[in-house]
């Protein structure tokens, strides 16, 4: 009979969660790839420029508003948060897997390398939440009328 302790069960749980989140990431990325790209999204730096204008509440063109609306709706999707969740569970899998292999011995620095993707996922989640919060600013934005 196989003797599995707490870290063994946590490793199995982290692996199952990783598979679930990876499937969600696959679905989310597939949805993003299948839609037609926004014309403004093809320009380098447009993402940053449009979000900066939105944060500063500057007037924007209709194409910029449409692109900002697309960006915000992408980050407000629950599937978008499966990307940092997958990174976090990958780090958890590494840490608890290493602790399982030690069988009670003192962990080394190598054991906690899995904390790096966990911190990265926290930063990524924060960035997604910052962009998603801009929905209120999007409703107040003023449009510029192009002069012909």
Is residue 147 pLDDT above 70, yes or no? no
Residues 127-141 pLDDT 10s: 999 999 988 888 887
Distance separating alpha carbons of residues 54 and 32, to the nearest angstrom: 22
Predicted confidence (pLDDT) per residue in 80-134, tens digit? 999 999 999 999 999 999 988 887 788 888 888 989 999 999 999 999 999 999 8
Q: What is the pTM of this model?
A: 0.85
SS3 percent helix, strand, coil of the chain, rounded to 5, is 75, 0, 25
Q: pLDDT by residue (tens digit) across 48-86?
A: 999 999 998 888 888 888 899 999 999 999 999 999 999
Q: What are phi and psi of 37, to 5 degrees?
A: -70, 145
DSSP state of 144: P
Helix (H, G, I), strand (E, B) or coil at 103: coil
């Amino acid at each position: 009979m196989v003797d599995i302790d707490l870290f063994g069960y946590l490793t199995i749980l982290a692996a199952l969660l990783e598979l679930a989140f990876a499937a969600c990431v696959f679905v989310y990325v597939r949805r993003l790839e299948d839609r037609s790209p926004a014309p403004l999204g093809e320009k380098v730096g447009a993402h940053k420029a449009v979000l900066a204008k939105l944060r500063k509440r500057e007037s924007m063109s209709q194409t910029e508003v449409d692109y900002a609306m697309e960006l915000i709706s992408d980050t407000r999707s629950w599937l978008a948060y499966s990307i940092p969740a997958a990174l976090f569970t990958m780090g958890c899998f590494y840490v608890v897997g290493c602790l399982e292999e030690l069988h009670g011995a003192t962990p080394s620095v190598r054991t906690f390398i899995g904390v790096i993707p966990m911190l990265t996922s926290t930063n990524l989640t924060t960035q997604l939440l910052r962009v998603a919060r801009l929905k209120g600013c999007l409703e107040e934005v003023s449009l510029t009328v192009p002069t012909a």
